């Protein structure tokens, strides 16, 4: 479906009683009519549709150009909604819910068949989360529905952290976008499989492994996240993702090594972009985008997707990006950068 106009509602997320605002009322009304609407969450903007409607879910997949074997996360605003769609909630899952909802944690459980099969891509499980954002919860509450919402980007592009990113990718392809300002966390939610006693991280995100272990004891990480040749449990992990407009290569090395690689590419006549922290400022590059101080991982996460999008079409021929230690939010940041690079990395140690 194409639209002459995609509605653009501006909402001040700090005002109370958002559910009754005319903008939210109208956006939620579209969702009730099985149309799709983008809105902010605390992680990234989502493209929301009625999770009980095949028609709405088809529109989400079409607008994004997303492969239909990649299931969607169902967003809820009250814990009671969870019990309407899953078979049971294990005590481990319940601990995580108590500790991290609302927040950037998505829990995978067995579903009971009440949602559209298209949301779950025919799997026996469903991924559910309760976002911690006043605009997202107001829309979910005002619609009275479970809201399926993938990130509101064209499939393969970096996820959107502002309404402008959504418009760049989806204008004319969706019914509307609720502009509630830039998102806070900047990378998507952590996805955990809670269908067995052992908790498995399927996608690293806003809640870190360290955060989870404080609450639930040792958790494991899906081997597909580290070993390329393993079949991923989370279907979304197997596709190209977060791709900027030029090939991106990770550079694991000190300042001098990084500068040397950039210089070499320039000597080959390439226009070079660099994605670096403040400590690597002043690289020999045609475009330099800074992510802030390397010690401030939350700020790096918040800026990551906007920075990947900042390299415009035909502006540079290659992007060299700095690497991060994989503790705390560094795990999610490196997971996204590795995908943006399609696994390409140059290492000083070799």
The one segment of 145-153, 256-264, 273-281, 326-334 that binds Mg ion by CB under 5 A: 145-153
200-203 and 190-193 beta bridge pairing: antiparallel
Q: Which residue has the tokens 């026996």?
A: 124
Q: Should residue 236 be labelled a site residue for ligand TXA when binding is judged by CB under 6 A? A: yes
List binders of ligand TXA among 131-150 (CB under 6 A).
131, 149-150
Q: Does 126 bind ligand TXA (CB under 6 A)?
A: yes
Q: Judged by CB under 5 A, does residue 190 bind Mg ion? A: no
Q: Can you tell me which of 13, 89, 90, 123 binds ligand TXA, judged by CB under 6 A? A: 123
**Under the criterion CB under 5 A, does residue 23 sit at the interface with Mg ion?**
no
Instruction: List the one residue from 235, 284, 292, 298 that touches ligand TXA (CB under 6 A).
Output: 235
Q: Does 81 bind Mg ion (CB under 5 A)?
A: no
According to the binding rule CB under 6 A, does residue 151 interact with ligand TXA? yes
Count CB atoms within 10 A of the CB of residue 339. Answer: 18
Q: Which of 31, 34, 36, 46 binds ligand TXA (CB under 6 A)?
A: 46
Please report where in the chains the tokens 């970096």 appear, as a residue. 158
Q: Do 126 and 74 meet the contact criterion of CB atoms below 8 Å apart?
A: yes
316 interacts with, out of Mg ion, ligand TXA, none, CB within 5 to 8 A per kind: none
Residue 41 CA to residue 197 CA, distance in Å, equals: 29
Closest approach, Cβ 70 to ligand TXA, in A, equals 5
**Angle (nearest 5°) at CA 262 between 260 and 264:** 70
Residue 73's DSSP bridge partners are 127
151 is an interface residue for Mg ion by CB under 5 A: yes
| Contact flag: residue 73 with ligand TXA (CB under 6 A) | yes
Helices (H), the chain: 22-32, 54-64, 79-83, 91-100, 134-143, 163-170, 209-216, 255-267, 297-309, 330-340
Q: Which residues bind ligand TXA (CB under 6 A)?
A: 41, 43-44, 46, 70-73, 104, 106, 108, 120, 123, 125-127, 131, 149-151, 188-189, 191, 202-203, 233-237
């Amino acid at each position: 479906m194409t639209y002459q106009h995609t509605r653009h509602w501006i909402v001040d997320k700090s005002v109370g009683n958002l559910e009754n605002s005319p903008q939210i009322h109208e956006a939620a009304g579209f969702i009730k009519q099985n149309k799709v609407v983008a809105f902010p969450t605390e992680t990234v903007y989502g493209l929301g549709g009625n999770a009980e409607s095949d028609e709405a879910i088809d529109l989400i997949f079409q607008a994004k150009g997303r492969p239909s074997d990649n299931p969607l996360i169902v967003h809820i605003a009250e814990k009671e909604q969870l019990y309407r769609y899953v078979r049971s909630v294990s005590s481990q899952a319940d601990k995580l819910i108590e500790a991290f909802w609302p927040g950037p944690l998505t829990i995978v459980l067995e579903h009971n068949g009440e949602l559209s099969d298209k949301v779950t891509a025919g799997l026996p499980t469903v991924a559910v989360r309760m976002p911690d954002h006043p605009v997202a919860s107001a829309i979910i509450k005002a619609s009275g529905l479970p809201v399926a919402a993938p990130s509101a980007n064209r499939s393969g592009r970096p996820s959107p952290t502002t309404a402008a990113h959504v418009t760049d990718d989806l204008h004319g392809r969706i019914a509307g976008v609720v502009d509630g300002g830039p998102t806070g966390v900047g990378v998507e939610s952590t996805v955990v499989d809670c269908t067995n006693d052992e908790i498995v991280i399927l996608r690293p995100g806003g809640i870190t492994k360290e955060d989870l272990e404080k609450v639930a004891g040792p958790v494991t990480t899906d081997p597909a996240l580290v070993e390329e040749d393993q079949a991923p449990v989370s279907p979304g992990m197997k596709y190209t993702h977060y791709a900027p407009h030029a090939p991106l290569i990770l550079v694991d090395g000190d300042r001098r090594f990084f500068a040397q690689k950039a210089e070499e590419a320039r000597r080959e006549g390439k226009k070079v972009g660099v994605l670096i922290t403040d400590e690597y400022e002043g690289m020999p590059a045609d475009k330099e985008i800074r992510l802030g101080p390397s010690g401030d991982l939350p700020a790096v996460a918040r800026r990551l997707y906007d920075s990947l999008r900042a390299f415009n079409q035909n502006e540079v021929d290659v992007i060299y990006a700095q690497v991060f230690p994989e503790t705390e939010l560094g795990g999610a940041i490196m997971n996204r950068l590795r995908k943006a690079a399609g696994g390409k990395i140059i290492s000083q140690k070799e």
